[in-house]
Each structure stands twice: as structure tokens, then as C-alpha cells.
Amino acid sequence: MSHDEEKSVREVPPGLREGAPSGPPPRRTEPAPADAARPASERATARKKVLLTGAASGMGAVLLRHMADLYDVVGVDEEDLEDVHRSKIVFHQAALGKRQFEDILRRERPDALVHVSFRDDPKTPARVRHQTNVIGTMRLLDASQRTSVAKVVILSSAAVYGALPDNPTFMDETQPLRASQTYSGLRDRVEVDTYAQAWMYKNRDVRTIILRPANVLGPTVHSSFRSYIELPRVPVLAGFDPMMQIIHEDDVARAIIRAVDAPRSGIYNLAGSGSALPLSTVLAELGVSPFPVPYPLALPLSRALWALGLSGFPPPQIDFLRYPQVVSGVRAREDLGFEPEIQPRDCLAAMRRALSSARRGRR
């Protein structure tokens, strides 16, 4: 395992790195009947109450697995929750952007809000996705501020940096977000990330952490990279084999938990050192046989197939098959003490098993 070579770059604006914990110290009183509805700082039990959006999603399921025994979890999602951990948590079925959500916040008064819900399915109309993703996030953040939530953790994605020919290796968190504005999925991500940043600077009293993981792989999560490798015929561009990074869903969950507990604000990439691999190696380890498409054909072909609804592969994503995307996870290591535990080889092996069992399940 190679040593991590990234040099730390400290360019986050001042005022975001206070080390003192927020909130009043816990009071030792007899537990009152409405104990559960008070934030941890006022409750006799020390467990944090964490509200999780997107609880019914893949990432939600991973987080429930990790958090159900650590915190008092309140799950929220538009979809109903069918999960083995359902009995351990409180669940509300609600949409993010609506009044109902703020009522839930007022009633539950969580210590922390973890926002992982993001609608990525290309079959849903872009307008609907934008409403959920961007407007929903905006309303969620405003509601958090109004109900005085002490900590907000937002799961973004390293894809927001975009894949461009002049991407340096080890992009840090100050790198501009240059993801393609032409694909609504990426545009939503960039908008959410940018809005969250602006909100973070405006509302210093709320400790906000934005996490940007590299491509998330694992048996449970459905990332856009997973949609790509699950295509019936996986295309690659002939003559291109860019460096990319992967991270296991369990490591992302661990990072989120660190972010919940960390008494600070900030933006953090999540990627393991030594996790940068060429796309061809990743596909080979996953047991995927790609078919090469010459580049001059690729763009018009992909546009045509996409327009005809014959392809699950949006045209602007082609850039991710061409240009490198390697981010530096040094800041997360230094500030949050987070380093991925699952090595690339094991992560890919786990993903390969998940893919073959999914394939068997479909038959």
C-alpha cells in the first residue's frame, strides 16, 4: 500500500475551523416524559439524535446499518421504508420541500441532519428531479436554520469537479466545480453543492460539512457509476483510459459518522490514497468486458441513442470516460481523522460479487 503523498492545502476561509463544541453542556436531570423529543444536549441520555433524509435509498440503507446502534435515528423519505433496521428507528414518509418536513424537524429536534437523498434516475423527468434535489435541498437547509439544527452533513460527489483534460491529479476542495452543465444530473449536483457552500458561509452558527466522495461502489448503493457498469453493453472510448478513484459505501458511511461527530464545518473530498486506478483496470476487476467505441462516433451515437431512449448513458458522461478525475482526501484525514479502510482490491472484489448476484437475481 503506497504512502499518501498529497500535500495539505489550507485555503478554507477563516472562521470555519473553530474547535470548541457547540451547544450547552448536558444537564443531569431525571428523564422527562418528552425526553426523546429534546436534542441530546438537553436529554439525560447522551446519544445523538440524527435525522437522515433519503433513508429508503441505497445509501440510506448503508447508513442505517452503521448508525442504528450509534444514534437515535429519525429517517425521512418520500418512499416507504422497507428495511431490516426499521424497528430500531423512527420513520416519517415525507417529501423534502414541503411544510411537513419542517414540522418533522420541529417535533423531532435532531442534533444533526444528514442529507443523502438525491434523485439520480434518468427516467424521472429533469424538472421533477430538480425540484427534489435542488429546491428540496434549499428548503431543507432553510428549515434546519429556522429550527436551530446544530449540525448538517450533506453528501455531494467528487463528480462536481468534472472530468476535463486539464484536471490536475489530486484536486483539492478549492478546485472549481466544472462538471458539465449540460446534463441535468450533474447540474443538480453542482447546484446543490454550490448552494450548500453559500449557505454554509452565511449560517456560521450551524456546523455544516459537505462531503464529496469519489465513485461510490458497494452491494447496496446505486451510484451513476454502477448504472454505467450495469449497462448491457458497457462502452469505452477507443484510445482513452483515464485515471479514476473508487470508494466503498461502508467507508462513505464511516466518513459521514465522523462528520456528524466532528465539531467543525468544512468541505471534504473522500478518496483513499492509492485508490487511483485506470478505468480499464476497474472494469477488468469488475469482470466487465467493455466494447471500445471510436471517439468521433461516440458523441453523435450516444446522443442519438439517448434521444431515442435506447441508452441509459447520458452523452455528457462521455467526458468521464476520457479525462481523469483524481481528488485528494488529505483534508478529510487531517480534520476528520477519516481514511478509507477498505482497499481498492477488496472494494472491487465486493462489487464484482454484488454485480454477479444481481445478474443472477435478474434472470
Partner 1 sequence: MAFDPWKHAENALGIPEIRERLRRIPNRLNEYGYDAWGFHPETAARVLSLAYALYRRYWRVEVHGIERVPHGRVVLAANHSGQLPVDGLLLWVAMAMEADPPRIARGMAERWFPTLPYISILMPRMGHVLGDPTNCERLLENGEAILVFPEGARGCGKTWWHRYELVDFGQGFVRLALKTRSPIVPIAVIGGEEQMPSLYNWETLARLLGMPYFPVTPTFPLLGPLGGLPLPTKYHIYFDEPVEFEGDPDGPDAEIVPMVEVVKSKIKRMIEYGLEQRTSVWW
Q: Which residues bind partner 1 (CB under 8 A)?
A: 1-3, 5-7, 165-172, 237-243, 274-278, 281, 295, 322-324, 326, 343-345
Question: What CA–CA distance (Å, rounded) separates 257 from 239?
Answer: 40
| CB of 200 closer than 8 Å to CB of 232 | no
Please, what is the minimum distance in Å from the beta carbon of residue 160 to partner 1? 17
Question: What CA–CA distance (Å, rounded) separates 12 from 16?
Answer: 7
Q: List, in sequence order, every beta strand (DSSP E) within the chain.
A: 49-53, 72-77, 90-93, 112-115, 151-155, 207-213, 215-217, 235-237, 243-248, 266-270, 276-278, 291-293
154 vs 327 by CB, closer to partner 1: 327
253 vs 270 by CB, closer to partner 1: 270
138 vs 243 by CB, closer to partner 1: 243
Cα distances (angstroms) measured from residue 354 to each of 228, 247, 328, 344: 15, 15, 27, 15
Please, what is the minimum distance in Å from the beta carbon of residue 276 to partner 1? 4
Please, what is the minimum distance in Å from the beta carbon of residue 318 to partner 1? 12
Q: Which residue has the cell 429546491?
A: 135
Strand, coil or helix: 303 = helix
Question: What CA–CA distance (Å, rounded) separates 284 from 348?
Answer: 10
197 vs 343 by CB, closer to partner 1: 343
Please, what is the minimum distance in Å from the beta carbon of residue 13 to partner 1? 19
Please, what is the minimum distance in Å from the beta carbon of residue 313 to partner 1? 19
221 vs 237 by CB, closer to partner 1: 237
Q: Which residue has the cell 420513520?
A: 91
Q: Which among 253, 254, 267 is positioned nearest to 58, based on CA atoms?
A: 253
195 vs 323 by CB, closer to partner 1: 323
Please, what is the minimum distance in Å from the beta carbon of residue 56 to partner 1? 35
Question: What CA–CA distance (Å, rounded) separates 83 from 64?
Answer: 9
